[in-house]
Structure 1
Amino acid sequence: MNSSSSFRPNGAEDTAIGTVAGGPGEVFRAFLKLGLTSFGGPIAHLGYFRDELVLRRRWIDEAGYADLVALCQFLPGPASSQVGFALGLLRGGPLGALAAWCAFTLPSAALLILFAFGASAFGGAVGAGLIHGLKLVAVAVVAQAVWGMACSLTPDKPRAAIALLCVLVVVFAAGAPGQIAAILLGGLLGLWLCRDQQAVSPSHLAFPIARWVGLLNLALFVLLLAGLPLASATSGLHGVALFDAFYRAGALVFGGGHVVLPLLEAAVVPPGWIGPDAFLAGYGAAQAVPGPLFSFAAFLGAAMTPPPNGLAGAAICLVAIFAPGLLLVTGALPFWNDLRRHPLAQAMMRGANAAVVGILASALYDPVWTGAVLNPRDFAVALIGFVLLTVWKTRPWVVVVLTAASGVGLALL
């Protein structure tokens, strides 16, 4: 884990990052832009976060960001939302964390609630072209993130080898289990291959959470996971059953995004809360909006038949599905700085960070590339977007607009 970077002057390696904060307002504005423009799923979101918050705003350095990504990939829940929540906490305290979550999540949730209420979406060639263009944006953004993080986090042969090996692990063990196995393997290989590198004093990430608060969050996570099924069975209230079903879905899924869909389908379709056709229609709409795919829960809560539904149902489901992941990351962060300072932990994190690069590289091919680049014209559009981001340093939202318009244009040809 190379913590010497352009974000700190020489001799200032112990400087706390996050102590000079702009407040919840700055966090809300930054994440609102991300919530309105971050298309492409959780891997693409991490690329958007890196470009906006690491490179442009410099809230955190590259190594600290990679550490956070590795931690959140290892925890259950929506990894990109957990990273965003932690960055908001780092920059603006507890209110900043809440501002980050609201600004990143609510735009997509609002769009999906409107869809549940019957708002018409784009149809025909225009709609298909728009969605395809947004998928091509994800190719450019993830490719930029892989390139930048590889240069920073795999600068030598041992870490490059770890990244390549972790690509193979994720390829042959698909899904969340493969990602977790890759991070564990990267950490173990880091202990073996990266111990000879000089120990450094990493930048202190000033998360304003006391240890007892972290322990309380972890205890609350376990209490809700164990107690909600009992409360649902004894109360007979549909609202409690709803919260229980969506809390368990958020607590038991690793990898986030599409991985949660089978759990949600099993929770809401067999009991008759929502029909299979409506479930699939909402899933399709969730692909066309920015922000976290977990916002699909807002559609389900609004569209289901038994009350509470509508806005109340959307709020219950949205809070319930995000709550376990946010409780877990809040519980882990107070202990994160101490762990990062131990030489053995640093060696493990060097390996784990290299593993993150491998995971991102694998995801760049599947599902990002395979789901978007279908012909040479798609390749050309994605390549132009990549060059705009990396060479011309164009703002991501501009690339989103241009690439989405290109997708519509190609569909109309």
Structure 2
Amino acid sequence: MLYLRHLEFLKLVFIHGLTAFGGPQAHLAMMMKTFVKQRPYVTEQELMEYTAFCQLLPGASSTQTLTLIGFKRGGPVLAILTLLVWILPACTIMCALSFFVEYIEGSSRHTDIFKFIVPMAAGFLIFACISSLPYSVKNLITGVIAVITAIATFLFFGKPYIVPILIIASGIVTNLSRKRIPQTDTKPGKIRWWNIWLFAIIFIIAGVLSETARKNDWTYRKPINLFEHTYRMGSLVFGGGNVLMPIMYEQFSVRPEAVKNKNPNVIQIGKKEMLTGIGIVRAVPGPVFSIASYSGGLALKDMGPSMQILGGVIGMIGIFLPSALLVLFFFPIWNMLKKYAVIYRSLEGINAAVLGIMIGSTFYILKDVILFDGSTLGFWNIAIILGSAFALIFTRIPPPILVAVSIALGYFL
């Protein structure tokens, strides 16, 4: 079979899915080590470009970036396989946790072993910043862009609008000079419209069916409503998991209380259960969007175990499908646009902005980590930050080993 030659790549993706802690910024740093340094599936410049491009789209940016690596390696089929292999571990864990949420509510012990994951993630980000520096800062203006975007990211971290604004503004700044990259003649390529049509058709059909099921109170209206809710969120949410989670909390826990009298069969998840999932998903490897499998399981919990599992699957498909369709549609267009000087010049500023965003994210992550208070915990945090960065920069130790060491230290210390 043709795709047998990609088994090594998919194996790395699977391991990445089991060990990628720390959120999107840390995921990027781990991709840098695994798919650029350990196995040169993409270059540093390509990874930075993919990351910047995905930040401009709604959905799970780190998932979309990894999907594009698979797309480069083997086209649309491998891209979809990459997406599935990446999201399945996290979604499986989160769906399973929806069965046991009552046993872990109110307990902080489940996060104790992960207390050194944040310092480890900071070490990964330091590595990514150092590795990206030669490709992102090549002159004075890109250096200024990196510094400004780092400060802005730190000050407005978590705001859904900040990253797209920084990337677009940086691309505009480097377009002010037209001397470095002259315009060359280029022919526009053919655009494949099928996946954007599929995205739109699913969006419309899901909305119509969901509203019809609600009005007519269909017996199995909840699975239909659940798919529409998650597909809509995956289609419209900018800013990653930090933006998705409060939207889910409002959709599934807050809003149902206000409409319960008028709509008694509305999907409703208890506030405490939802907040527990929001806390746990940060300690689970893989994409933060996997919380959709947890909320999907809880949404159909009252319909029995088999429907609860189905709810986890619906949540997974609904939240990740629009991201995949959008990125696979727009990326070929982006590649065609890069042939124009105005876009090519923008990449210089965009790459510098991505570096600045990583630097700002590093400092934001570190602001809540105990470091210099003279305590034993502070000592270990510093040791893990520096040790992780040193190991990634100067050794060939795979990222999963560093993750395992951090978890082991969290357990024993």
TM-score bracket, shorter-length normalisation: 0.7 to 0.9
Question: 1:197 offset after TM fit, Å?
Answer: 2.7
Q: 1:387 aligns with which of 390, 396, 400?
A: 390
Task: Specify the alignment match of 2:141 in structure 1.
Answer: 158
Question: 1:127 offset after TM fit, Å?
Answer: 4.0
1:343 maps to a residue whose letter is A
Q: 2:70 aligns with which of 73, 80, 88?
A: 88
Query: Structure 1, unaligned stretches of length 5 or more?
Result: 1-19, 202-209
Task: Specify the alignment match of 2:286 in structure 1.
Answer: 291
Question: 1:292 offset after TM fit, Å?
Answer: 0.2
Q: 2:170 aligns with which of 186, 197, 203?
A: 186
Task: Specify the alignment match of 2:217 in structure 1.
Answer: none
Q: Does 1:262 align with 2:259?
A: no
Q: Does 1:99 align with 2:81?
A: yes
Residues 23 and 92, structure 1, Cα contact 8 Å, conserved in 2: no
Task: Specify the alignment match of 1:238 in structure 2.
Answer: 222
Task: Specify the alignment match of 2:408 in structure 1.
Answer: 405
Deviations 1:346-366 (A, max 9, x none): 110111111111111111111
1:261 maps to a residue whose letter is M
Q: 1:217 aligns with which of 171, 174, 195?
A: 195
* Distance (Å, rounded) in 2 between the aligned partners of 1:328 and 1:125: 38
Residues 76 and 328, structure 2, Cα contact 8 Å, conserved in 1: no
Query: Structure 2, unaligned stretches of length 5 or more?
Result: 215-220, 257-266, 373-377
Residues 125 and 408, structure 1, Cα contact 8 Å, conserved in 2: no
Question: 1:148 offset after TM fit, Å?
Answer: 1.0
Deviates more, 1:251-260 or 1:312-321: 251-260
Residues 287 and 293, structure 1, Cα contact 8 Å, conserved in 2: yes
Question: 1:125 offset after TM fit, Å?
Answer: 8.0
* Distance (Å, rounded) in 2 between the aligned partners of 1:27 and 1:94: 15
* Distance (Å, rounded) in 1 between the aligned partners of 2:95 and 2:313: 10
* Distance (Å, rounded) in 1 between the aligned partners of 2:209 and 2:371: 49
Q: Does 1:317 align with 2:312?
A: no
1:154 maps to a residue whose letter is V
TM-score by length of 1: 0.85
Q: 1:78 aligns with which of 60, 65, 70?
A: 60
Residues 381 and 406, structure 1, Cα contact 8 Å, conserved in 2: no
1:265 maps to a residue whose letter is Y
Q: 1:192 aligns to what SS in structure 2?
A: coil
Task: Specify the alignment match of 2:367 in structure 1.
Answer: 370
Residues 217 and 328, structure 1, Cα contact 8 Å, conserved in 2: yes
Are the structure 2 counterparts of residues 162 and 130 from structure 1 closer, same or farther at C-alpha, using a change threshold of 3 Å? same
Question: 1:222 offset after TM fit, Å?
Answer: 3.0
Deviations 1:191-243 (A, max 9, x none): 025x4335699xxxxxxxx9553x22223323333442222111332222111
Question: 1:380 offset after TM fit, Å?
Answer: 2.3
Q: Does 1:273 align with 2:273?
A: no
TM-score by length of 2: 0.85
* Distance (Å, rounded) in 2 between the aligned partners of 1:100 and 1:303: 27
2:142 maps to a residue whose letter is R
Deviates more, 1:349-358 or 1:249-258: 249-258
* Distance (Å, rounded) in 1 between the aligned partners of 2:279 and 2:16: 21
1:278 maps to a residue whose letter is E
Are the structure 2 counterparts of residues 192 and 370 from structure 1 closer, same or farther at C-alpha, using a change threshold of 3 Å? same
Residues 137 and 400, structure 1, Cα contact 8 Å, conserved in 2: yes
Are the structure 2 counterparts of residues 285 and 29 from structure 1 closer, same or farther at C-alpha, using a change threshold of 3 Å? same
* Distance (Å, rounded) in 2 between the aligned partners of 1:326 and 1:136: 31
